[in-house]
Structure 1
Amino acid sequence: MMLVIRKIGLLSVLALLTSACNEQVKAGNQINTSIKKEEKQIPEEPNNNNKSYDFLFFPHLGDGFSTPFHERINSISKNKQQQTLRWNHTVTESTTELLEQWSLLNSSEPSSIFSVAKGIVQTETDTSFIIEHQFLENGKKKIIQVEYFPITPIENIKSVNRNQKIGTLKGTTLFTRIRWTSDIPIYKKPLQWYAENYRHTTLPASENQLLIVVKSEYTIYHFEKGKLIAEFDICLGQEPLGHKEVEGDNKTPEGEYRITEKEKGPFYGGTGPWLGDRWMHFSYPNRFDAKLGYEKGLISKTQYLDIEKTDLMNGKTNSYTHLGGRVGLHGWNGTFIANGTQDLTWGCICMQNEDIIELFEKIPMNTKLIILP
């Protein structure tokens, strides 16, 4: 099948799809079904024509976390004679919940309580809110439900933005409870940890340029400020299933990465011709890959911390460990046939030369790349 650039509205392309592509669509529908089941309790479904990446554009997806108070409340006063925190914070954890206690040290004024992130109100009582917060971590959706009490809630709130006022504290102590149930992934970290480590999380709809790869569809999607611009057929590693974990496994990574290097051909050496006309390196291994590798004994703690630090600084991570590296987007030596089984590389994502030449000109450095199974 001849490769085509499938842009929005080109319905005539559908008539060219072969039975092999129909099998791809069937597989994509199975993925969509699982996503819908996961999100069945959410009042608003995303509307991206039922694509497997819909969850990345969920309208209530958060862009980061704060504390339940204005930032000034948690900071030390600039007046050296008044260097005191307004809140004393403690954490108690059990097998089913994590309870944080925020004790007000200076109660001279009423304290407003704010939502720690964007979310959907699940339950409202006379003294509390339970709010569900969704966010992305390494290209995967995470969900926590947080109960805020005792407060005088603002009534009739259905959804909230980050730092939106949800009520006023009753008394001098706020409790926040993170619950885990069979329907919610276990993620046992306190809100203070979220505020410190996840102050900013990826919000795909707000990215100026964004690339999404769906491995099961052998497709890369190009978005601009949340709008689908184009999609292209791709090739994957010779072992297409699963996430890359070690050098030489011939798997294509899965997760969230950044474009950290761009080069134009021709390329030389034994593998040079197979890179085609363009090369865009991305940041595998990222800090999540490094953490997994360290836990499995594949890299040292020093290597893990170095990759983590570099990744957090948007730098080019170390490609020369047992995790492997030098993985990227590139062209091909000639033309490949896009029949839904194009597993050709040692882990990279390859495209037809004419396609990557077009994409290369539109994608700046540090563009985010999300690779889905």
Structure 2
Amino acid sequence: MKRQWFRPWLVLGFCVLAASSPHARKPAVWPPALAPADERADEIRVDKSERRMQLLRDGKVIRTYRILLGDAPVGHKRQQGDERTPEGLYRITFRNDKSRFHLSLRVSYPNEADRAQARARGVDPGGDIMIHGGTPPGYGTDWTDGCIALTDREIEEVWRLVAVDTPISIEP
């Protein structure tokens, strides 16, 4: 008799654990919907040295994330392949729900100043700088080619809160 009540609870427990796995979780609606305008961030601030990204609304921090950067994170991105994350003022220009890194938000690097410095040096400034997912929870080593990386769960939250044309400030 005791065995009969034990099995259903065991199966139920296994299902709860499997559903809570980050690999098993997928939102019912894909991509996640953009939050109403009064809930969205109106600014993004990145502090590379602190490995921190903050979303702000009306000058107040509404979310803070631990981030990972490019393999060579110190200094401003100067050319294709240097694996640096750019520094300066940019904007979010595109939302990619088919990213190979779960979801991604394109940063407007290179801007005109970035292109001019690269042209003066005779190099390609590079591009495709994104805020994206793909970082396993608890992972602590910079690994991108210059992007700003979050966990999949975090980029889903950022995706809901950040619209195209949101300004982003990336500080050393």
Query: TM-score by structure 2 length?
Result: 0.72
What SS does structure 2 have at the residue aligned with 1:289? Answer: helix
Matched letter for residue 326 of structure 1: D
Alpha-carbon distance between aligned partners in 2 of 1:333 and 1:217, rounded to the nearest angstrom: 17
Q: How does 1:172-211 map to 2 (within 5 A)?
A: 209-211=42-44
Residue aligning to 1:295: 120
Residues 246-288 of structure 1: CA distance to partner in whole angstroms, max 9, x if unpaired?
11111111111110110224x4xxxx2xx1x211011110111
Q: How does 1:1-373 map to 2 (within 5 A)?
A: 209-265=42-98, 267=99, 272=100, 275=101, 277-298=102-123, 322-338=124-140, 342-373=141-172
- Does the CA contact (< 8 Å) of 2:85 and 2:147 recur in 1? yes
Give the superposition deviation at 1:294. Answer: 2.3
Residues paired across the two proteins, number: 132
Greater Rg, structure 1 or structure 2? 1
What SS does structure 2 have at the residue aligned with 1:354? Answer: helix
The structure-2 alpha-carbon separation of the partners of 1:286 and 1:364, relative to structure 1 and needing over 3 Å to count, comes to same
Alpha-carbon distance between aligned partners in 2 of 1:295 and 1:336, rounded to the nearest angstrom: 41
Gaps of 5+ in 1: 1-207, 299-321
Alpha-carbon distance between aligned partners in 2 of 1:281 and 1:354, rounded to the nearest angstrom: 18
Matched letter for residue 278 of structure 1: L
Alpha-carbon distance between aligned partners in 1 of 2:72 and 2:44, rounded to the nearest angstrom: 22
Alpha-carbon distance between aligned partners in 1 of 2:142 and 2:138, rounded to the nearest angstrom: 10
Alpha-carbon distance between aligned partners in 2 of 1:297 and 1:237, rounded to the nearest angstrom: 23
User: How large is the Cα RMSD of the aligned pairs?
Assistant: 1.4
Give the superposition deviation at 1:337. Answer: 2.5
Alpha-carbon distance between aligned partners in 1 of 2:170 and 2:72, rounded to the nearest angstrom: 15
Alpha-carbon distance between aligned partners in 1 of 2:88 and 2:46, rounded to the nearest angstrom: 10
What SS does structure 1 have at the residue aligned with 2:67? Answer: strand
Alpha-carbon distance between aligned partners in 1 of 2:160 and 2:120, rounded to the nearest angstrom: 39
Give the superposition deviation at 1:368. Answer: 0.5
Matched letter for residue 148 of structure 2: I
Give the superposition deviation at 1:240. Answer: 0.9
Q: Which is strand-richer, 1 or 2? A: 1
Alpha-carbon distance between aligned partners in 2 of 1:278 and 1:336, rounded to the nearest angstrom: 19
Give the superposition deviation at 1:344. Answer: 0.8
Residues 296-336 of structure 1: CA distance to partner in whole angstroms, max 9, x if unpaired?
233xxxxxxxxxxxxxxxxxxxxxxx111111100015334
What SS does structure 1 have at the residue aligned with 2:69? Answer: strand
Matched letter for residue 85 of structure 2: T
Matched letter for residue 359 of structure 1: V
Alpha-carbon distance between aligned partners in 2 of 1:331 and 1:252, rounded to the nearest angstrom: 16
Alpha-carbon distance between aligned partners in 2 of 1:336 and 1:237, rounded to the nearest angstrom: 17
Query: TM-score by structure 1 length?
Result: 0.34
Alpha-carbon distance between aligned partners in 2 of 1:336 and 1:225, rounded to the nearest angstrom: 31
Residues 174-223 of structure 1: CA distance to partner in whole angstroms, max 9, x if unpaired?
xxxxxxxxxxxxxxxxxxxxxxxxxxxxxxxxxx6100000000000111
What SS does structure 1 have at the residue aligned with 2:163? Answer: coil
Matched letter for residue 330 of structure 1: H
Alpha-carbon distance between aligned partners in 2 of 1:210 and 1:362, rounded to the nearest angstrom: 10
Alpha-carbon distance between aligned partners in 2 of 1:324 and 1:290, rounded to the nearest angstrom: 9
Alpha-carbon distance between aligned partners in 2 of 1:334 and 1:226, rounded to the nearest angstrom: 30
Alpha-carbon distance between aligned partners in 1 of 2:143 and 2:135, rounded to the nearest angstrom: 11
Alpha-carbon distance between aligned partners in 1 of 2:110 and 2:157, rounded to the nearest angstrom: 26
What SS does structure 1 have at the residue aligned with 2:46? Answer: strand
What SS does structure 2 have at the residue aligned with 1:294? Answer: helix
